[in-house]
A = this chain, B = another copy of it.
C-alpha cells in the first residue's frame, strides 16, 4: 500500500508518542518533531507507510539511543493477554466452528496496539466481540471460507506477528493447526513501537508450538527490502502466509502473494484501501 496524504499527520502523532515515552521535556519533543518534519520532503508517497515509520523511529534512535521504549507496555500487554488465555481457549472449545472462533480471536487480539494502556478496555472489547459471536462486528471483508479451504491443503504456515500481547491471541489460532502443520512465527529483529520480538514469542509460549524467527526488520511492518536474506528465502517459498496487523498489510498488500491478512481496521485510510469499514475485523486474501 502506498502512503496516503492522511498518513502524514499520523507520522507526527507517532513521533509525539515516542518522544513522550522518552522524556517529559517538551523542548526535546519539538526537536524530534522538527527531525520528522525534515524527513517529509524527502519521503515519496510511493513508499509504504511503515517505511516512513521506520525513518521516524530511526530518527528517534539517532537522537536518544537504541532503547526499547515500549518494553514496559509490551510486558504489560503480554501479562494481560496471558491472563485472558484460559478464557479465550474456552471460547474456542465452546464454539461450533473452532477454526472460525480462533481466527476471530486472533483478529480481536489486534486491538491491543491501541488499548494496551487500559486493561478494562481490552477485556470489555474482547467481551463485546464475543457477545453474540461477533454478530455486531463489521465483517465487510472476511474471506473465511477461502482461508479454511486453503489451510486444509497446506502443511507449512508462515505467520507474521504484529504486536506484543497479541501474540497470545495468535497462539490460540496456531494451536488449532500446529499438531498437523509446521508453523514458522515471524517477529521483528529489533524493538519498534510495541511490535512483537523473540522475547515476546517466548513469554507468550509460541516458541513451544512454532519455530520463531526474525524477519530482520525493525520497521513496524514487514518491508521486504529491509528483510534478511534468510527470511526472504522462507517468505518466497511459503505456500500459506498469515499476516497480522495493519503495518504488515501496508507493507505487503501489493506483493500479490495470496497472503491472508488478518487485522482490525483501525484507520480510515486502510479501511478504505481494503474495502472495509473502520472497526471491522478483516480477513483479506491479497
Contact = CB atoms under 8 A, between A and B. Distances in A.
A5 B16 contact: yes
Nearest to A2: B26
Nearest to A10: B9
Nearest to A19: B5
Interface string A1-43: 0000110111011001001000000100110011001101100
Contacts of A38: 37, 41
A274 interface: no
A27 B261 CA distance: 29
Contacts of A29: 5
Nearest to A13: B9
Contact of A8 (B5, B12, B45): B12
Contact of A6 (B5, B16, B19): B16
A34 B26 contact: no
A13 B6 CA distance: 7
B40 A34 contact: yes
A160 to B, nearest CB: 28
